[in-house]
């Protein structure tokens, strides 16, 4: 009990500070191991978080559990229908599908010229012309795929659909190729397949948003259907589920429902094509989780190695200090007091080295964050380490530091004072 | 002050055992200054270590100021050493990273004396050995004689009942040896009981009594006329 009380005694700490500060080389060498361990751990864990955040950012342009589905040819004869048939989506299928699959939040039917369907039409403005993919979309599309419009413009709205207006939202690449530098395209006209459209908005292109390019042109769905004579038929829809919905479940349910609706064999995997952002996203999440786990394992292992290093050097230090400890015991230090001093020295060094490691690690992450914040191609944002993990590492360190300190402490008192005094 | 009866001690060396002390009967009066002499291997250091509770005996009794010293664990022994005994070693055994004052204050630290009190007492004892002005010097900055005087101040700081000196002049030249022995005589004259282990006859003659050890037994124990050192 008496020796435990010593932990809170100012004199004990004075003794420890003295012993630590007057044996500088030993102190520094001892601390480097733990410093390095916690530093690596913080840097790794922070980087893993940064990567995770970076991917999050890169995919922020998309609803994470969204999918696309389009018609292809059937490959299995079913209920009297021959194989090789093209199923067709109709506009009233949208509400029907939504009612049958309550997990669906939004459905955006889409029409294309170019891209998956025929060749991209010629678009002319004045003396400039080029071929661009043209899409016919509903405003709801913007709720599934996040669309950023430059100031002063807008996306397709409900009135555009209702009145079948000839308006177009163009990509920034389209603007570059059809308009002069510095010219404001809003309110100007472009000719798509000899029909004039007024530009109402320019979209900012977001990398990794998965769909289209920077040069797509979007016009109201109804206008598109009328010009290209599509009636109420379409071939592609973009679907997003509510946030809680598992993307793979959504994909399966939508497909099986569509097969029933369109009288397609349940075994026919070729009748519809799909892509699933969610499953893509899931594999990335798994990857980053793996990174976090790896950093945890490597970090803990490094801290472990560092603390063992402290124990090692404390053992050497005890050997080196045999004479000093012998003197202390001849002068009346009890074995408990000697042990407490050695263990506290070990713990204190661990803590100080740990704090420095955490600080330097955090500073490194700060520098990396500044260095990468401008880079769009590099998915790395806000590399932080949760406080719980920092505390966890800290507690681990202190525990290990205490346990490892007990070994040299035990060694120190196992030598009889008389033998310790003989040692020079 | 010290009462020893029929003390035996042997060391195991491999298969054989070395009988170092073969029945020592020995007592020391309060205020005595005893020289323990003997050639190397006579058992004089072993006796001193047992007296200093740094080692234990196999059989026999040891009373220090009427307290029976027996069956002690390390903790109790440490407390007794701290309270009852002061040590002076041949190789000084100062802690090299502590200055003179801190070295002298160390036994007081283990007694639980407050910092202020420690500093004051330590400085007093440094003054007593004539090294007040050297209080903040490290041992490496002191001469051999000064180091031993610091060691003596440290041994006195806890106000022990007995001072045990193991070859206190063994590492010093003759002039410095005289200085140190003069200091020991002075302390003895103030009433402190002191035991000095030495193999030098002229050092022994500066004590009040000489005990001769040979092959683990006391062969001679006589009071002598003390050679008092003057004008050092």
* ipTM of this complex prediction, to 2 decimal places: 0.88
Nearest CA in chain A to B114: A11
Cβ–Cβ gap A327/B111 under 8 Å: no
pLDDT score for B232: 63
Cβ–Cβ gap B111/A336 under 8 Å: no
Put simply, whether B161 touches A (Cβ < 8 Å) is no
What is the C-alpha to C-alpha distance for residues B133 and B4, in angstroms, rounded to an integer? 41
Tell me the pLDDT tens digit for each residue of B83-112: 899 999 888 999 988 899 999 999 998 888
Query: Of the candidates A269, A267, A276, which has an alpha carbon nearest to the alpha carbon of residue A246?
Result: A276
The nearest CA of chain A is from the CA of B225 a distance in Å of 33
Domain boundaries of chain A, sorted by first residue = 2-59+283-422, 106-234
Nearest CA in chain B to A416: B54
Band (pLDDT 50/70/90 cuts) for residue B16 is: confident
Nearest to A333 among B49, B93, B110 (CB): B110
CATH of domain B30-57+74-223: 3.40.50.300
Name beta bridge partners: B222.
Answer: B210
Tell me the pLDDT tens digit for each residue of A138-193: 999 888 887 778 888 899 999 999 999 999 999 888 898 899 888 899 999 999 98
A100, A257 Cβ separation under 8 angstroms: yes
The nearest CA of chain A is from the CA of B103 a distance in Å of 10
Residue A321 has pLDDT above 60, yes or no: yes
Band (pLDDT 50/70/90 cuts) for residue A5 is: low
pLDDT score for A417: 80
Contacts of A22 in chain B (CB under 8 A): 97
Put simply, whether A11 touches B (Cβ < 8 Å) is yes
What residue ranges in chain B does DSSP mark as E strands?
2-13, 16-28, 33-37, 59-64, 67-68, 85-88, 162-166, 193-197, 209-214, 217-223
pLDDT score for A210: 47
Residue A1 has pLDDT above 50, yes or no: no
Band (pLDDT 50/70/90 cuts) for residue A55 is: confident
* Mean pLDDT for all residues in chain B: 90
Tell me the pLDDT tens digit for each residue of B17-34: 888 899 999 899 999 999
Nearest CA in chain A to B82: A332
In sequence order, the 6+-apart residues with CB closer than 8 A to the CB of A165 are A159, A220, A223
- What part of A 335-354 touches B (C-beta under 8 Å)? 335-337
Nearest to B78 among A18, A22, A329 (CB): A329
The nearest CA of chain B is from the CA of A349 a distance in Å of 19
Contacts of B55 in chain A (CB under 8 A): 416, 418
Over residues A40-67, the mean pLDDT reads: 78
**Alpha helix segments (H runs only) across A262-334:** 277-320, 322-330
Cβ–Cβ gap A330/B75 under 8 Å: no
**What own/partner pairs with CB < 8 Å and gap ≥ 24 does B14-20 have?**
B19/B216, B20/B46, B20/B216
The nearest CA of chain B is from the CA of A325 a distance in Å of 9
What is the percent of chain A where pLDDT is above 70? 93
Nearest to B74 among A15, A326, A334 (CB): A334
């Amino acid at each position: 009990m008496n020796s435990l009380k010593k932990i809170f005694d100012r004199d004990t700490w004075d003794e420890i500070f003295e012993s630590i500060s007057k044996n500088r080389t030993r102190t520094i060498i001892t601390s480097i191991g733990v410093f390095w361990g916690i530093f690596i751990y913080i840097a790794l864990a922070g980087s893993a978080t940064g990567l995770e955040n970076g991917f999050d950012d890169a995919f922020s342009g998309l609803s994470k559990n969204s999918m696309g589905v389009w018609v292809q040819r059937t490959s299995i004869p079913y209920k009297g229908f021959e194989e090789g048939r093209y199923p067709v989506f109709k506009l009233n299928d949208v509400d029907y599908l939504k009612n049958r699959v309550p997990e669906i939040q939004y459905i955006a039917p889409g029409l294309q010229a170019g891209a998956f369907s025929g060749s991209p039409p010629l678009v002319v403005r004045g003396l400039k012309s080029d071929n661009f993919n043209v899409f016919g979309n509903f405003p709801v599309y913007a709720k599934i795929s996040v669309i950023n419009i430059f100031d002063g413009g807008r996306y397709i709205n409900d009135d555009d659909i209702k009145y079948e207006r000839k308006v177009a939202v163009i990509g920034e690449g389209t603007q570059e190729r059809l308009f002069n530098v510095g010219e404001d395209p809003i309110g100007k006209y472009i000719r798509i397949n000899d029909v004039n459209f007024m530009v109402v908005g320019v979209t900012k292109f977001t990398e990794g948003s998965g769909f289209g390019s920077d040069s797509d042109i979007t016009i109201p769905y109804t206008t598109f259907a009328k010009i290209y004579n599509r009636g109420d038929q379409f071939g592609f829809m973009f679907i997003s589920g509510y946030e809680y919905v598992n993307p793979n479940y959504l994909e399966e349910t939508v497909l099986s429902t569509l097969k029933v609706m369109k009288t397609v064999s349940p075994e026919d995997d070729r009748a519809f094509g799909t892509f699933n952002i969610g499953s893509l996203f899931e594999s990335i999440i798994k990857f980053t989780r793996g990174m976090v786990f790896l950093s945890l394992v490597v970090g803990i292992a490094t801290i472990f190695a560092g603390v063992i290093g402290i124990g090692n050097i404390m053992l050497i230090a005890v050997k080196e200090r045999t004479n000093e400890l012998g003197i202390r015991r001849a002068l009346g230090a009890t074995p408990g007091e000697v042990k407490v001093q050695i263990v506290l020295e070990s713990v204190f060094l661990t803590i100080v080295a740990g704090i420095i490691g955490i600080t330097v690690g955090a500073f490194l992450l700060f520098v990396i964050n500044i260095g990468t914040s401008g880079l769009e191609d590099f998915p790395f944002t806000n590399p932080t380490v949760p406080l719980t993990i920092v505390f966890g590492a800290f507690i681990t360190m202190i525990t290990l530091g205490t346990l490892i300190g007990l070994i040299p402490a035990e060694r120190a008192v196992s030598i009889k004072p008389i033998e310790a005094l003989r040692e020079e | 002050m010290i009462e020893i009866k029929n003390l035996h001690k042997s060391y195991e060396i491999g298969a054989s055992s070395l009988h170092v002390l073969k029945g020592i009967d020995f007592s020391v009066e309060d205020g005595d200054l005893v020289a323990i002499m003997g050639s190397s291997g006579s058992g004089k250091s072993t006796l001193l270590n047992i007296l200093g509770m740094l080692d234990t005996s196999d059989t026999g009794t040891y009373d220090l100021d009427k307290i029976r010293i027996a069956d002690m664990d390390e903790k109790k022994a440490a407390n007794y050493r701290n309270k009852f005994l002061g040590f002076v070693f041949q190789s000084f055994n100062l802690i090299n990273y502590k200055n003179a004052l801190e070295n002298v204050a160390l036994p007081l630290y283990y007694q639980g004396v407050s910092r202020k009190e420690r500093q004051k007492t330590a400085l007093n004892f440094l003054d007593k050995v004539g090294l007040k002005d050297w209080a903040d010097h490290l041992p490496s900055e002191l001469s051999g004689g000064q180091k031993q005087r610091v060691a003596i101040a440290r041994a006195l700081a806890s106000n022990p009942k007995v001072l045990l000196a193991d070859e206190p002049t063994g590492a010093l030249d003759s002039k410095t040896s005289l200085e140190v022995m003069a200091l020991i005589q002075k302390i003895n004259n103030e009433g402190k009981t002191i035991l000095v282990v030495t193999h030098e006859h002229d050092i022994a003659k500066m004590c009040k009594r000489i005990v001769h050890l040979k092959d683990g037994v006391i062969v001679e124990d006589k009071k002598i006329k003390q050679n008092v050192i003057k004008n050092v």
